[in-house]
Chains A and B, each alone.
Chain A
Amino acid sequence: MDKKNVIICRCEDITLQDIHEAMDQGFTSFEELKRILRVGMGPCQANTCGQLVQREISKYLKVKLDEVKTQKIRPLITGVKLQSIVDGEDHEG
């Protein structure tokens, strides 16, 4: 399958081709790829692409999957409206 048609990060529309090109430039950790491509910066916060990118790095560097660092997890766990924070609303329900 054409690497241009394989979407790795749905939030930011990043393809497998983008990931491979950036790795060819030397960006071979999730944190570097994130900064150069925006992969994992969207609303799902790498919940989908995190493991896919980890697998691609593992293949590219020919190292075991568990040796590839996963992305830094930052708050918030889910998107919360600024107004909800102002009002102190309960986000659930």
Chain B
Amino acid sequence: MKANVVIIGAGISGASIAYNLAKKGMKDIVVVDKSYLTSGATGRCGAGVRQQWGTKLNCILAKKSIEFFKHAKEILEYSGDIEFKQEGYLILATTEEEDKQFEKNVKLQNSFGIPSRKVTKEEAKKIVPHLNIDRIISATYCPTDGHLNPFTMTDAYYQAAKRLGVTFYFYDEVLSIVVEHNEVQKVITKHHEIETNIVINAAGGYSKEIGDLAGISIPVYAENHEILVTEPIEKIQGPMVMSFSRNIYCQQVPHGSFIMGRSDPNVEHNHSTDSTWKFLDEMAKTAVDLLPPLGKLRVVRQWGGSYNMSPDRQPIISGCKELKGFFMACGFSGHGFMFGPMTGILMSELVLGEPSSIEEMEELSLERFKNQKTTDYEKSVV
């Protein structure tokens, strides 16, 4: 069979790219995934969407994506509920260094129209009454950050893409990418052989391996980040509470349960999505210290998912100089879900050769790592 484009990966990135290309009139789009919709990082993420970043690029991508989420249900004509809730992110400064850094971050965010602000301990307590403010110096708050359901948001893109004629093959792993004369020729999967001159790598944790199949070295790797969910209770917390220094993010989702996660600085670079006792122990201690009433909540389940880490912890949304027809949307470093709308828009522009919606495409390119240019490094990551 033939296709104009083969997208590898049916998470938020792949679904959003497929939708955006189809909406612009491209025909014969195929999305392949080795498992089911949102089976990878998208369906394992913490369901938060924020704009409080420390780099220009992340601020731009986040703000424009939030603007899309506001109208996503109507734009994608989705019958389900994407559970978009804008009740903010409260980011805690627990060290002098963070207190100073956040001052700069807020200035940067404000320069892009992101309505974040620095708040005192006392103001933070008003925003989240059960917060233990003895542990913090100050905080930053952005009221338009919030929550979004990763499964239904991806389903909304998926359903819209299907209505526009996109074909999805699930449980169909890509085995090889055939290249001739420095151009993509064919994608061979477990069940199909698809002739195509365009391949888009949106494989999340497996982006490096997909690059390798095409002979393109992408400087990304996967690492496991763990997370847990509690039983649901009546609403007590509006915003996501987050701290980089204390290594925690924690929000109450509309369903009523609390979702919380943290990272392990010594985690190995591999595809594990295992759950560990160590995570549960450290997570419980950190959460109960910062948000004491949460101690009464029962943990229902824990799981893990892959962050696909890039060298500067900013995404790679790029074509490829060495190989015609090979594109990639990867290296999101834990934030692919919340940037999903912009990923789809920017990638569709790249593939179709249209002018880009943002001026900074060069800074999202794979080339940025080769040029020896210092790139912005994103510190605001848990």
Residues of the B chain whose Cβ atoms lie less than 8 Å from the Cβ of A79: 231, 298-300
The reply to whether A43 and B151 contact each other, CB–CB distance below 8 Å, is: no
Residues of the B chain whose Cβ atoms lie less than 8 Å from the Cβ of A32: 36-37
* Interface stretch (choices B94-102, B282-290, B341-349, B372-380): B282-290
Report the interface size for chain B: residues with CB under 8 A from the other chain. Answer: 29
In the complex, the chain B residue whose C-beta lies closest to that of A32 is: B36
CB within 8 A of A35: which of B38, B229, B284, B301?
B38
A83 part of interface (Cβ distance < 8 Å): yes
Residues of the B chain whose Cβ atoms lie less than 8 Å from the Cβ of A75: 275, 280, 301-302
A-B interface pairs (CB < 8 A), number: 69
Within 8 A of A (CB), among B167-207: none
The reply to whether B155 and A85 contact each other, CB–CB distance below 8 Å, is: no
CB within 8 A of A74: which of B231, B288, B302?
B302
Question: With A and B bound together, what is the CA distance between A42 and B302 in angstroms?
Answer: 12
Check A82/B300 contact, CB under 8 A, given A32-B37, A36-B151: no
Q: How far is the CB of A84 from chain B (nearest CB, A)?
A: 8
A1 part of interface (Cβ distance < 8 Å): no
The reply to whether B296 and A83 contact each other, CB–CB distance below 8 Å, is: yes
Q: How far is the CB of A15 from chain B (nearest CB, A)?
A: 16
Question: With A and B bound together, what is the CA distance between A81 and B231 in angstroms?
Answer: 10
Residues of the A chain whose Cβ atoms lie less than 8 Å from the Cβ of B280: 75-76, 85
A6 part of interface (Cβ distance < 8 Å): no
CB within 8 A of A82: which of B38, B43, B155, B287?
B287
8 cross-chain pairs, A with B, having the tightest CB-CB distances, nearest first:
A83-B295, A79-B298, A85-B284, A35-B151, A82-B284, A74-B301, A32-B36, A82-B295
Question: Using a CB–CB distance below 8 Å, which chain A residues touch chain B?
Answer: 29, 31-32, 35-36, 38, 41-43, 45, 74-76, 79-83, 85-86
